Amino acid sequence: MLQGIRVLDLSRVIAGPYCAALLGDLGADVIKLERPGRGDDLRALRGSGRMSASFAAVNRNKRGIAVDLQKPEGARLALDLARRADVVIENFLTGVAEKLGLGYAAVRAVNPSVVYASVTGFGQTGPLARKPGYNTIAQGMSGLMALTGMPGDPPTRVGGSVSDVAASYMTFGMVNAALVHRFRTGEGQHVDVSLVGASLGLLPDPTAIYFDTGERPKRAGNRNLNLSPAEAFQAKDGFVNVVLLNAEQWGRFCLALGDPVMETDPRFADNPARLANHAAFKARVEAILGTSSVTDWVARLEAGGIAAGPIYEFHEVFEDPQVRHLGLVAEVDQPGVGKVKMLTFPGRASGTPPRIDRPAPLLGQHTVEVLGELGLSRSEIDRLAEAGIIVLGEQP
């Protein structure tokens, strides 16, 4: 889809790099610029100084160069790359790119049609614009943690780097929309994405309910406070998620459970009654589900036209036949590590399917190649390396 689009990735860790990797999955030519020495901080996660599994996963389909942006010649090289780029992605603290001479105004001056994406904790303007932002901080300040956890328990962090990935997806969508706008009008623009904004954007329904009622939403664990059943129930060997969205499904649910009396019991006969008598309702359902396995109940409920699914432990996810069918995991031959497994692009396309064609680069692996494309001679590249402005990099 994005063949011919050139992306300069100045970002590090997850939020910016994962967006750039997704663009690369769709065919964009992505150049990742890292500082000489230790490179992206994610390289050293879990003690691996060269190539952590996490770095490999969010930096596939990129070419890598090592340039010292603190040195004027290094910053000028980056600006030359930005001059040729369709997209620039950065996640410096607000104001740092400008100090380096690589802010939006400087890049726009040499490349008016550029789509320039900034990913920060709190955005480019406002009282917290210069505050560092990380996944857990964004989760806490966006309301995600306030809504997560069991009733009576403290706020709970959502697993994974959810806020970072939410910002990645938001940036990915806005960059592609900005490219469409550019193709129509010739105009570039500055895309401003914050972790806190992207995280709050995951909560449109509780936010709408809060503004409608004025009531603060409560932590509800694995249930929906406005709909029942819409929650996790314990079966004999694990947990089953069940969701009913309309009254017509209630009779089918009771029939699948083999409890026709419950259908007309006034304590449970409609959604408001089940919400009012939730503890008794859940105990009755779990007494029935406890007689058989998760697999059995999911099959029975689905046969009865009820939406149901198992709650997997993480290792079980990758054994699910549908996950396997969708091809959501790829094995990549990664220089410096060997074969590694990682998530693929999470969607499909019939004409131009996403692909992982290139493993994550070693630090500075493509410095000579990329600078040669800028027109630098090998002697000039060697001079820059001797001056410590660039690193020629490791080779596979």
Element (H, E) at 283: helix 278-289
Element (H, E) at 191: strand 189-194
Burial class of residue 160 (count of CB atoms within 10 Å of its CB; 0-12, 13-18, 19+): exposed
Q: Hey, which residues are catalytic here?
A: 164
Q: What is the C-alpha separation between 59 and 82, in angstroms, rounded?
A: 19
In degrees rounded to 5, what are phi and psi of residue 389? -85, -30
Which one, of 121, 204, 124, 206, lies nearest residue 163 by Cα? 121
Provide the β-strand partners of residue 6. 29
Which one, of 143, 322, 309, lies nearest residue 230 by Cα? 309
The token pair that represents 114 in the structure block: 């550029």
Q: Which residue has the tokens 């592609």?
A: 176
The token pair that represents 120 in the structure block: 């920060």
Asked if 266 contacts 273 with a C-beta cutoff of 8 angstroms, the reply is yes
